[in-house]
């Protein structure tokens, strides 16, 4: 097994000029998706902007921004849907501009998602460009833009914000900026429960770096000075005050910062509910969300085979899960950097092995962008005359599906 070609870390984040093709391509794909949504919604006498900003989870986020926490809905079956299930960073970002401008929290949430989706695209490009070069970075961004549920990237949801924070945190890890990585992981932990995936990535990379530092300290000087540090196949540089050797204290500080966001909110919810450190799990249980190792999802898929044509949907689900697992195996075989493998693995496990509503699983998987890197590398090896039609077809399909999906059941 050999390492894929990698590139040394640049002095800072990829410049806007270097990332411009990826960002312009991303913006074009998303504009196509919004145009398709507008046309489809108009044909069905619906308001596309309302679908993007004032349905499903976006309503819960804006209610938190307007009224704070404490709102809940009690259903006839005894379930309790509490807004404590929604992490606070997006509502915080919605609240302040709405108090000083004519914009509503929903309007601000939409703008935050648009800007965050561009930041996420830039972060995905930065990670992929660092590992495999500019062309692969552009392909990775475009693949993320044409996901079947990519319309969520333009909704007043927290997926785009979370993906942006996660991608840049991972880039900071790969380039040895431990304090930045920890701070971004902290913010990711205030955005969604899956922020734990970013924390795990930072900690895994830091622990391996400490272990290798210790091993290098006992190695001959010629070995210590002969090659850059690596995190499972990917070279990375450490930065501290303009030097390339960050003291271990900065790495420790990054590790300490990373879990603070998620821990602070979970502990606050436990205090607010009076149920202690596990109070947040009780809140999620009220939404019938939990972690059962995938048993509920397996039963859901099995039930599809009790009739026809629902059996076709069951086959599609099995193929989809198989594709995700196969992509992760390819990522491992291609020796993706450890933080990316940890991050993608945790995001995927939490999405597939949770007992949450099954229709939401595609959007829960959307932040797992490292799974797209093997496909991006394949496209990058093709001539533009071959890759462009593939991406163009996927962009049209994603736009049409997003418009159909959002005018129907939508992303709960």
Residues in the chain: 412
pLDDT at 236: 54
pLDDT at 226: 44
Q: Is 373 a residue whose pLDDT tops 90?
A: yes
Other residues' Cβ atoms within 10 Å of the Cβ of residue 215: 11
Segment 195-222 shows an average pLDDT of 87
Report percent pLDDT > 90 for the chain.
76
pLDDT at 184: 98
Q: Is 308 a residue whose pLDDT tops 90?
A: no
Alpha-carbon gap, residue 56 to 36, rounded angstroms? 20
- Each residue's pLDDT tens digit, 119-151: 999 999 999 999 999 999 999 999 999 999 999
- Each residue's pLDDT tens digit, 212-262: 988 877 666 544 444 445 555 554 556 544 334 456 899 999 999 999 999
Averaged pLDDT of the chain: 90
Taking alpha carbons only, the member of 140, 159, 163 closest to residue 151 is 159
SS3 content of the chain, % helix, strand, coil (to 5): 70, 5, 25
Segment 19-44 shows an average pLDDT of 98
Q: Which residue has the tokens 């590790």?
A: 255
Other residues' Cβ atoms within 10 Å of the Cβ of residue 67: 11
Report percent pLDDT > 70 for the chain.
90
- Confidence grade of residue 310 (pLDDT, cut at 50, 70, 90): confident
pLDDT at 275: 92
C-alpha pair distances (Å), 171 with each of 96, 190, 236, 277, 356: 29, 19, 10, 31, 30
């Amino acid at each position: 097994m050999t390492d894929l070609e990698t590139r040394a870390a640049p002095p800072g984040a990829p410049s806007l000029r270097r990332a411009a093709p990826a960002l312009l391509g991303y913006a074009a794909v998303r504009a196509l998706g919004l145009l398709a949504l507008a046309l489809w919604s108009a044909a069905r006498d619906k308001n596309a902007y309302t679908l993007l900003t004032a349905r499903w989870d976006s309503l819960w986020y804006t209610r938190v921004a307007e009224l704070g926490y404490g709102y809940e809905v009690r259903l006839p079956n005894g379930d309790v849907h509490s807004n404590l299930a929604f992490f606070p960073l997006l509502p915080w970002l919605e609240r302040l501009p709405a108090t000083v401008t004519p914009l509503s929290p929903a309007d601000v949430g939409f703008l935050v998602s648009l800007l965050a989706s561009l930041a996420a695209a830039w972060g995905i490009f930065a990670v992929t460009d660092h590992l495999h070069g500019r062309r692969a970075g552009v392909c990775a961004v475009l693949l993320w833009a044409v996901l079947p549920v990519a319309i969520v990237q333009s909704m007043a949801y927290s997926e785009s914000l979370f993906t942006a924070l996660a991608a840049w945190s991972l880039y900071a890890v790969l380039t040895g900026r431990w304090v930045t990585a920890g701070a971004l992981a902290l913010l990711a932990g205030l955005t969604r429960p899956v922020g734990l995936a970013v924390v795990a990535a930072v900690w895994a990379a830091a622990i391996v770096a400490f272990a290798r530092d210790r091993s290098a300290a006992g190695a001959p000087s010629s070995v210590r000075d002969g090659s850059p540090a690596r995190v499972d196949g990917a070279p990375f540089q450490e930065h501290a005050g303009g030097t390339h050797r960050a003291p271990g204290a900065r790495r420790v500080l990054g590790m300490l910062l990373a879990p603070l966001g998620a821990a602070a909110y979970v502990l606050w919810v436990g205090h607010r509910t009076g149920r202690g450190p596990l109070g947040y799990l009780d809140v999620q249980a009220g939404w019938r969300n939990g972690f059962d190792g995938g048993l509920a999802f397996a039963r859901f898929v099995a039930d599809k085979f009790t009739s026809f044509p629902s059996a076709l949907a069951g086959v599609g689900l099995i193929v989809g899960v198989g594709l995700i697992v196969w992509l992760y195996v390819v990522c491992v075989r291609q020796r993706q950097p450890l933080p990316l493998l940890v991050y993608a693995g945790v995001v995927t496990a939490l999405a597939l092995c949770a007992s949450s509503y099954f229709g939401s699983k595609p959007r829960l998987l959307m932040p797992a962008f490292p799974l797209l890197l093997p496909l991006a590398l394949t496209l990058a090896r093709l001539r533009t005359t071959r890759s462009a039609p593939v991406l163009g077809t996927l962009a049209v399909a994603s736009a049409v599906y997003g418009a159909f999906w959002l005018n129907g059941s939508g992303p709960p």
